[in-house]
Amino acid sequence: MPGPKDQPSQRIAAALRDKITNGDLQPGDRVPSTRQLVREWGVAMATASRALATLRDEGVVITRPGSGTVVRGDRGTRPAAVTRSRIVAVAVRLADREGLAAVSMRRLAGVLKVTPMSLYRHVAGREALEILMVRAVFGANPLPDPMPAGWRERVETVYRLQWQLYRSHPWLAELTLVTRPPLAPEAMLHTEWTLEALADLDLDPATRVRSALALPALVHGLALTALHEHRAVQETRLANAQWWETIDGQATEVLRSDFPRLAELAALPVATFGLKGLDEVFELALRHYLDGLAAGHR
């Protein structure tokens, strides 16, 4: 699997960075627009945008209304102080835009304009950084206080919030394994709420624990599906519906001959599949699971 440096957006950013360093682009000069980069490099608009966003994060260029993106003229200015919260905020922003693989101490140091070793005064290492990223996301989106009164309302509140976080930060699914969760108090509170809600039902301790594992596993499984779809869109530059169009002929032949029930899916709206369709799958799965709990313990 290619690393972050092999990604087209990073190659474009490196090429522009070299031109600025070599003096080919001077302070105040306009850098190529996203459309120019698309034509020159043969990449998607999103890839070109990520390249320019990388340089903006590093403070190499700035965007001025009416002037486009230009080389900064004050690059000798002392950078803002590096703090743990700033490191984590940059890491979350990078992961949101390019995925967890893009987050490294070297990359963060480049964005923050410091040496990689200086980051270790604030963060012990990659594993510690990942836990801080999880804590930051959950901490910025807390559960309501006070909690809802009914057991079902509490559970729905917890897992709808989790789903929202997974959809906003797809990489989060890589760091929140159900059987080996991170020791992040802000995320652990979700499990505490779940156990508290299930305590209102007539469940033996073992069943209560299994239910408390099954609920996040259900949501986490869908979140991993969303993560892989998100990556596929980035790598192929095709939305789910567009991807199906590319294999339509072959898929139709296979489905009609051997899988008549699967073939019926072709008549469904395109929105049923892909990332948007997963939102409805989540709601259906959560409702069915909670209906089952309610029916079995009235």
- pLDDT tens readout for residues 119-146: 999 999 999 999 999 999 999 999 998 8
Q: What is the pLDDT of residue 270?
A: 63
The phi and psi torsions of 198 (rounded to 5 degrees) equal -70, -20
Lowest mean pLDDT across 84-93, 194-203, 208-217, 271-280: 271-280
Q: What's the mean pLDDT in 3-24?
A: 76
- CA–CA separation, 111 and 164 (whole Å): 28
* 152 and 282 together in one domain: yes
Q: Which of 71, 100, 116 is a domain's end point? A: 71
Q: What's the mean pLDDT in 103-129?
A: 89
Q: What is the pLDDT of residue 56?
A: 84
* 148 and 292 together in one domain: yes
Q: In the numeric block, which tokens belong to residue 150? A: 């009914």
Query: Is 174 inside any structural domain?
Result: yes
Q: How confident is the model at residue 187 (pLDDT cuts 50, 70, 90)?
A: very high
Q: What is the pLDDT of residue 2?
A: 47
- CA–CA separation, 234 and 243 (whole Å): 12
Q: What percent of the chain has pLDDT over 90?
A: 35
Which of residues 3 and 151 earns the better pLDDT score?
A: 151
Q: What is the pLDDT of residue 80?
A: 62
Query: Exposed/middle/buried for 190, CB within 10 Å: 0-12, 13-18, 19+?
Result: buried
* 51 and 160 together in one domain: no
* 174 and 282 together in one domain: yes
- Residue 55, H or E segment: helix 45-57
Q: Would you say residue 181 has pLDDT above 70?
A: yes
Query: Is 213 inside any structural domain?
Result: yes
Which of 294, 298, 58, 275 minimizes the C-alpha distance to 170? 275
* 196 and 290 together in one domain: yes
Distance separating the N- and C-terminal Cα atoms of the chain: 51
Per DSSP, what are the bridge partners of residue 70? Answer: 30, 62
CA 260 to chain centre: 36
Which of 64, 77, 57 minimizes the C-alpha distance to 13? 57
Q: What's the mean pLDDT in 267-290?
A: 82
* 175 and 39 together in one domain: no
Domain that residue 22 falls in:
4-71
Q: What is the pLDDT of residue 252?
A: 73
62, 46 Cβ separation under 8 angstroms: no
- Residue in the structure block whose two tokens are 């990388």: 54
Average pLDDT, the chain: 85
92, 130 Cβ separation under 8 angstroms: no
Q: Which of 71, 90, 114 is a domain's end point? A: 71
Q: What is the pLDDT of residue 1?
A: 43
Q: Would you say residue 57 has pLDDT above 90?
A: no
Q: What is the pLDDT of residue 75?
A: 52
Lowest mean pLDDT across 107-111, 114-118, 186-190, 249-253: 249-253
Q: What is the pLDDT of residue 260?
A: 78
Q: How confident is the model at residue 256 (pLDDT cuts 50, 70, 90)?
A: confident
Which of residues 3 and 149 earns the better pLDDT score?
A: 149
Q: Which CATH number is 32's domain given? A: 1.10.10.10
Query: Is 31 inside any structural domain?
Result: yes
Q: What percent of the chain has pLDDT over 70?
A: 92
Q: How many domains does the chain have?
A: 2
